[in-house]
């Protein structure tokens, strides 16, 4: 799981990949911002899930305390 920053509203959100058990089918799949619905595309074997951060997590991210989820 990773933190992505929206290119439109500049808010951080969680992104994680849902992999399908089919190798070699890399296609461009949408990553949609949970705040403003701005969508970018990135190659994936399945699809991308996104989720908003809590207010506290957003503040931690912006202050550098929260950089990544594992």
- For Zn ion, the binding residues (CB under 5 A) are 6, 8-9, 33, 35-36, 38
- Name which of 33 and 44 has its Cβ closer to Zn ion: 33
- Name which of 31 and 33 has its Cβ closer to Zn ion: 33
What does each C-alpha distance from 13 to 5, 19, 20, 34 come to in angstroms?
A: 6, 19, 22, 7
- Name which of 8 and 67 has its Cβ closer to Zn ion: 8
Beta carbons of 62 and 10 less than 8 angstroms apart: no
Task: Kindly state the smallest distance separating residue 26's Cβ from Zn ion, in Å.
Answer: 25
Residue with tokens 């899930």: 49
């Amino acid at each position: 799981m990773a933190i992505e920053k929206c290119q439109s509203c500049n808010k951080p959100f969680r992104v994680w990949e849902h992999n399908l058990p089919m190798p070699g089918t890399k296609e461009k799949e949408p990553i949609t911002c949970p705040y403003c619905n701005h969508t970018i595309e990135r190659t994936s074997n399945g699809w991308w899930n996104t989720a908003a951060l809590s207010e506290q997590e957003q503040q931690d991210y912006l202050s550098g305390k929260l950089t990544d989820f594992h």
